[in-house]
Amino acid sequence: MTNTPVDPTQILEDFDLENFTPYRLAVAAQKLSELLARQYRSHFGISIPDWRVLVHLTQSDGVSIRDIEARVAMEKSKVSRAATRLEEAGLVVKTVNPGDRRLVHLALTDKGRAMMVDLLPLAEAFQDQILEQLGETREGFEAGLDRLLKE
């Protein structure tokens, strides 16, 4: 290996942020999240953290805030605030673990379940629109995304 001088200015000039894959994925994820959020915000009055908690509870009802935090990659404080809002709205019920009062479990109420029955088809239609835009590249995109998420 040769020690060639590094030109810091050239490194800065050569870096192409617009084609940097991690940046593009982050921007795309944020954009899609915001587009979907507009729909459920206008129809159901919930926020992105609310949605993430609720949709997680549809998959595994009766889980701790700590489990949700790990699963949906949100700070515990955001999950806790969302849980409080959702409890006040009658969409979830919080139960404190008697053996460890730091553990709070959440479960959907009948009202929360009914709302998700109405909301999930909207989310699935949104996903269908995205997948339709991918066209023939869909399978490759999903396979690549699966590989990235497993790491």
User: Does 2 have pLDDT greater than 70?
Assistant: no
Q: pLDDT for 36-79, tens place per residue? A: 999 999 999 999 999 999 999 999 868 888 889 888 888 889 99
In a domain, 122, yes or no: yes
CA distance 129 to 47: 21
Tell me, what's the pLDDT at 146? 94
What's the token pair of residue 22? 């991690």
Tell me, what's the pLDDT at 5? 76
Q: Which domain holds residue 58?
A: 18-132
Any idea what DSSP says for residue 100?
Answer: -
CA distance 22 to 151: 14
49, 31 contact by CB (below 8 A): no
In a domain, 137, yes or no: no
What is the domain count for the chain? 1
Q: pLDDT for 75-91, tens place per residue? A: 889 999 999 999 999 99
Residue type, 126: F
54, 86 contact by CB (below 8 A): yes
